[in-house]
Structure formats: C-alpha cells, structure tokens
Amino acid sequence: MTGLRLFAYVVSAPTLSGILVLILLLNPGLLGLSNFMNIIVGAAIGFIAALPISIVVANKME
C-alpha cells in the first residue's frame, strides 16, 4: 500500500513541478521573480502540491 503511494508521488511530483516551472517561465511577470527564482518556486510548489494528489490517486488505485 505504501509502495503504491510512493510510486504515485514519484510519478506526479516531477510532472506537476515541470508544468508549473514551464508556466512560470513562459509568463515571467506572473510572480514578478527572476527566471532562477521562478524555477525554484515552481518546483517547490509542484512537489508540495503533488503529495495530496498522489495520496488521492493511490487510494483510487487500491
């Protein structure tokens, strides 16, 4: 059961982070940060937001 949750997190976290980083890099004025800070903020938000998403996905798959 925990392996499935970990797998769902490992799959969803980089995907969500990549999408957020891409959105922030394509819209540099969105948060008013530099490109480097946009990458860091997008990755951090993506990895944090992926945790509840992966738990829900793993619960649906069980």
Indicate whether 32 pLDDT > 70.
yes
Indicate whether 14 pLDDT > 80.
yes
For residue 30, how many C-alpha atoms fall within 13 Å in the half-sphere facing its CB? 15
Q: What is the pLDDT at residue 39?
A: 84
Give me the mean pLDDT over the 7-26 stretch: 83
Residue 51 and residue 13: Cα distance in Å, rounded?
7
- pLDDT single digits (tens) 1-12: 577 777 878 888
Q: What is the pLDDT at residue 58?
A: 76
Cβ count within 10 A of residue 11: 13
Long-range contacts of 35-39 (CB under 8 A, 24+ apart): none
Q: What is the pTM of this model?
A: 0.68
